[in-house]
C-alpha cells in the first residue's frame, strides 16, 4: 500500500510521469488531496484524472487515506472529537477546536502511549505502535472535512509521546507547513519530556525542516521532583532540574520560547507554595506557563483545582515575573480528555 498523503507536488508529478501522464496530472492529484471540500478519499473519485490513470493507481495499491471514522462526538461548545480506525484495527483520537478566527487540530502521534501519566486515559492501555506521517496528516483531513473549514493551528497534544516518534513527527510537520500551508509558528509539539530527546528534536528539525520554528510545550505539571513522580511515573528517569537545563539549551539552539504545561490538580500541585517553587524554577529564561483546567476522567483519583486556586496561582506567577496564561478545557460534555473516547470504546 502506497499512501499519497504527505507527498510533495514534485513527488506527485514524478508519479504521473512514471505512468506516462503529463506532470500537471500530479498537480491535479495534489490539489485534490489538500482541498478540504473533497469529502471522498477514494482515488477513483479524482474525476479530473483520466479513468485509466485512476484505475492503474488503485490497482497498484495507491491510497489517500488509511483511516476511517469510528465515532463522532460534538460538544456543546463546538469542539469535535473523532475516534478513527486504522488499517490494522487500532483506534486513535483527534480533536477539532474551533473559535471564530481559527480551527485548531489536536493530533495523536501514537496508538496509545508508554508514559503512563496518572491523570491521562491514554496510558491505561499502554503503547500499541507509533503512527506513520500519513496517519498523522489524515487526522487533519478528517477534521477539515467534518468541520468544513481549513485547520489554522496544530497541537500535538493527542494520544502518544511525540518525541518517541520524532522522524514521522517531523515529516508530518514538513507537510503541514508546505502542503497544508500552516506556519510552523502555529504548530505546538507537546512532550512529557524524554531524556536526551529535546536536543535530538532540535537537531533533526534543522536536518528535516531546515529550521525549528514550532513551539515546544513541556508537560511539567509539578514544581518539584517528588510531586512530578507521583503524577508521571516516567519522571523518575528525568530530574526536573535537568528538564529545565535541557529546555534552556533548546531555547539557545532554536531561539524559540519554551512553554510549560501545568495541569492544575486539586490538593496536589495547586497551592501558592507550588507557585513559588515553580517561579523559582523557571525564572531567568525565555518561557511561558500554560495553566490548564483538568478534564476529569472516571476511575482516576485526581480532581480539578478550584477556580479560586487557579486564579491565585496565576496571579502569583505573574507577580513574580513569569509569563502565564490560563487555558480552559474544551468539550467537557463529550469525553474530550485525551484517550477518554478510545477508552470508552474499548470498554464497550
Distance separating alpha carbons of residues 323 and 288, to the nearest angstrom: 5
Q: Which of 173, 143, 180, 171 is nearest to 156 (CA)?
A: 173
Q: What is the pLDDT of residue 39?
A: 79
Q: State pLDDT tens for residues 104-155.
A: 999 999 999 999 888 887 777 789 999 999 999 999 999 999 999 999 999 9
Rounded to whole angstroms, how far apart are CA atoms 318 and 332?
27
Asked if pLDDT for residue 250 goes beyond 70, the answer is: yes
Helical packing angle, 197-208 and 166-178, nearest 10°: 40
| Average confidence (pLDDT) over 333-344 | 52
Is domain 2-63 annotated with CATH 1.10.10.10?
A: no
Where do we find the cell 478519499? 41
Cα distance between residue 208 and residue 217, in whole Å: 20
C-alpha 147/C-alpha 133 separation (Å) is 22
pTM of the predicted protein model: 0.91
Residue ranges covered by each domain of the chain: 2-63, 68-347
**If you average pLDDT over every residue of the chain, what do you get?**
92
CB 237 within 8 A of CB 195: yes
Q: Span 68-347: which CATH code?
A: 3.20.20.70
Catalytic residue set: 93, 338
Q: Is the pLDDT of residue 296 over 90?
A: no
Q: Which residue has the cell 504527505?
A: 6
Mean pLDDT of 220-241: 95
Sign of the dihedral defined by the CA atoms of residues 54, 57, 60, 66, in that order: negative
Amino acid at each position: 500500500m502506497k499512501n499519497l498523503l504527505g507527498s510533495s507536488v514534485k513527488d506527485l508529478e514524478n508519479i504521473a510521469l512514471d505512468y506516462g501522464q503529463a506532470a500537471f496530472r500530479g498537480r491535479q492529484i495534489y490539489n485534490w488531496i489538500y482541498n478540504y471540500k473533497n469529502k471522498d478519499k477514494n482515488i477513483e473519485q479524482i474525476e479530473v484524472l483520466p479513468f485509466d490513470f485512476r484505475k492503474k493507481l488503485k490497482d497498484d495499491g495507491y491510497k489517500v487515506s488509511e483511516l476511517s471514522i469510528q465515532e463522532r462526538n460534538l460538544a456543546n461548545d463546538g469542539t469535535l472529537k473523532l475516534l478513527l480506525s486504522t488499517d490494522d484495527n487500532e483506534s486513535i483520537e483527534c480533536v477539532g477546536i474551533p473559535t471564530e478566527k481559527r480551527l485548531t487540530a489536536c493530533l495523536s502521534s501514537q496508538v496509545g502511549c508508554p508514559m503512563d501519566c496518572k491523570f491521562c486515559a491514554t496510558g491505561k492501555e499502554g503503547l500499541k505502535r507509533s503512527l506513520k506521517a500519513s496517519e498523522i496528516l489524515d487526522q487533519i483531513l478528517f477534521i477539515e472535512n467534518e468541520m468544513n473549514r481549513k485547520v489554522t493551528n496544530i497541537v500535538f497534544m493527542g494520544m502518544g509521546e511525540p518525541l518517541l516518534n520524532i522522524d514521522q513527527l517531523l515529516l508530518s510537520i514538513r507537510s503541514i507547513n508546505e502542503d497544508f500551508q500552516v506556519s510552523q509558528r502555529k504548530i505546538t509539539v507537546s512532550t512529557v519530556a524524554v531524556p536526551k530527546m529535546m536536543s535530538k528534536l532540535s537537531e533533526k528539525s534543522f536536518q528535516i525542516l531546515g529550521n525549528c520554528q514550532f513551539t515546544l510545550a513541556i508537560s511539567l505539571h509539578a514544581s518539584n521532583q517528588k510531586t512530578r513522580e507521583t503524577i508521571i511515573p516516567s519522571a523518575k528517569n528525568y530530574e526536573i532540574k535537568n528538564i529545565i537545563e535541557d529546555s534552556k539549551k533548546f531555547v539557545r539552539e532554536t531561539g524559540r520560547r519554551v512553554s510549560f504545561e501545568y495541569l492544575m490538580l486539586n490538593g496536589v500541585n495547586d497551592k501558592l507554595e507550588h507557585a513559588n517553587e515553580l517561579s523559582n524554577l523557571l525564572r531567568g529564561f525565555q518561557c511561558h506557563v500554560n495553566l490548564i483546567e483538568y478534564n476529569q476522567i472516571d476511575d482516576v483519583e485526581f480532581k480539578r483545582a478550584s477556580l479560586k486556586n487557579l486564579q491565585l496561582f496565576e496571579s502569583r506567577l505573574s507577580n513574580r515575573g513569569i509569563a502565564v496564561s490560563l487555558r480552559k478545557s474544551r468539550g467537557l460534555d463529550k469525553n474530550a480528555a485525551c484517550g477518554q473516547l478510545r477508552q470508552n470504546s474499548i470498554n464497550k
